[in-house]
A and B are shown apart, each in its own frame.
Chain A
Amino acid sequence: MPDATVVHDEVVMADGAKMTARDVDVFYGEKQAVDKVSIDVDSHYVTAFIGPSGCGKSTFLRCFNRMNDTIDIARVGGRIELDGKDIYDPKMDVVQLRARVGMVFQKPNPFPKSIYENIAYGPRIHGLASAKADMDEIVERSLTRAGLWNEVKDRLDESGTAMSGGQQQRLCIARAIAVDPEVILMDEPCSALDPIATARIEELIDDLRGNYAIVIVTHNMQQAARVSQRTAFFHLGNLVEYGGTEAIFTNPRADRTRDYITGRFG
């Protein structure tokens, strides 16, 4: 039986959380990857999920927009809500859910299409723009928000895959933003990028904060400390501790958190 999650007072939410998870289990076949995890995600903050490889943090993140549905042997139990609505309800439109809860992956994965089309694709299938002018505006706004507009405005017809890695990742973030999501999930968004490109993404996350609930999974503890206001530490499928980022990195309460973030043997 794992120890109960240590939850700091400052992350206990007085009013509604953007997303809540309650007693979430994830199994891959027989193997349990996530064990009874409960957490509230606040829309005003960046929440970081940290923990060693195999701790379940990415698997858990992927429950928030039902990405685990695409894995045949994955089974999700418990309850996850977006604005109080069960996202695993059979009546939930998963395509719609993924527009509201966007995702950015470890490896930038732009479509093999023009920069313009990378952004326009989502709004088009969701019917967000009726005229070319509307679409142009969405493309410009999304690229501007992602800090990419000035770099690409003169070459919107070029292929998204011809950009640098950091630009590709910002393009993917622009693509997620284009459908006007409420939550953005980021799974190791900088692990394939150099420090400068990483800093640009972190700056972007800072800019986006407040407009979207952002949840970021990262191996890099310094990155969690830099970009997030809430930090959740996972170990062996358990949520060990959840608190304000400053408290987690200066005075963690659980022994396992302390040993992990200070680089000690557990």
Chain B
Amino acid sequence: MAPPNAHIVKSFDDDLRALRSIIGEMGGLARSGLDRSIQSLLSFDMELAERVIADDRRIDDLEMEVEAFAISIIARRAPMAQDLREVIAALKIGALIERIGDYGKNISKRVASISDSKYRGAGSGVERMGQMVSEQVDDAMRAFLDRDPYLARAVNDQDEAIDDFYESLFQTLLGEIAEDSELTAPATHYIFIIKNLERIGDHATNIAEMVHYSATGEYLEARAKGGDATGLTLPL
């Protein structure tokens, strides 16, 4: 007897499971890349930074796999209702995770430049922000794997704390540049790094939004996504 929620055509369930598992693997790799990029930054570990950069290729490959698989499921299975929402969500989440991987890679790419400078000021702030963002990615992925709209909403709500943290770090770094112009180069790298982290937080929130839509058919109410003090994005 098939489980109550199973498709009559069992291989359809196999397809959806396989699609989820690729997304799960991507999420794990992206989070690990993010954690290791922060670690390489804090310890100026060039070797680790290089590995993060190299490993990102695997995430890119998996994203293409997700895309091809999702298109194939749509073409062959003509998914409807929650199945359709799940496949579309997987397609979009795959792209979001791929971007998260890229941001981790970008952070690692700055390790060499920063390690040349004596500046160590922003380290603890970046470490803390990296943890917050990493947990955010983890929560978003758990919400996806558990189809949990409540956790998805919580991720959405937590993004504001990351944005606030980003703003305060940003102001601190601007202040340090103003005080000592020799810090302009390294502090600017840190500004890009925290901006990358802030964007990862936004992408985790976007993942959570897709999870919520996939699980319930309803969109989470839109909220402004952060970093407004830099003047680059406008509040919605």
Contact = CB atoms under 8 A, between A and B. Distances in A.
B223 interface: no
A186 to B, nearest CB: 22
A262 B85 CA distance: 11
A225 B8 CA distance: 20
A264 B7 contact: yes
B80 A249 contact: yes
B7 A262 contact: yes
Contacts of B82: 258, 262
Interface size class of A (residues with CB under 8 A): 10 to 19
Given A263-B9, A263-B12, A251 B4 contact: no
Contacts of B217: 250-251
A222 interface: yes
A261 interface: yes
A251 B2 contact: no
Given A222-B78, A262-B79, A249 B84 contact: yes
Contacts of B85: 250-251
A250 B8 contact: no
Interface string A223-266: 00100000000000000000000000111100000100111110
Contact of B81 (A222, A258, A265): A258
A221 interface: yes
Contacts of A251: 81, 85, 217-218
Q: Classify chain B's interface size.
A: 10 to 19
Nearest to A225: B80
Contacts of A262: 7, 79-83
Interface string A194-222: 00000000000000000000000000011
B181 interface: no
B89 to A, nearest CB: 12
Nearest to B88: A250
Instruction: Tell me which of B2, B81, B84 has the highest count of chain A C-beta atoms within 10 A of its own C-beta.
Output: B81
A249 B81 contact: yes
Interface string B1-43: 0101111110010000000000000000000000000000000
A250 B88 CA distance: 11
B79 to A, nearest CB: 7
A263 B84 contact: no
Nearest to B217: A251
Interface string B205-236: 00000000000011000000000000000000
Nearest to B83: A262
Nearest to A252: B81
Interface of A: 221-222, 225, 249-252, 258, 261-265
8 tightest A-B CB contacts, nearest first = A251-B217, A261-B80, A262-B81, A262-B83, A263-B7, A262-B80, A263-B8, A249-B80
23 contacts: A221-B80, A249-B80, A249-B81, A249-B84, A250-B80, A250-B84, A250-B217, A251-B81, A251-B85, A251-B218, A258-B81, A258-B82, A261-B80, A261-B81, A262-B7, A262-B81, A263-B12, A263-B80, A264-B5, A264-B8, A265-B2, A265-B4, A265-B8
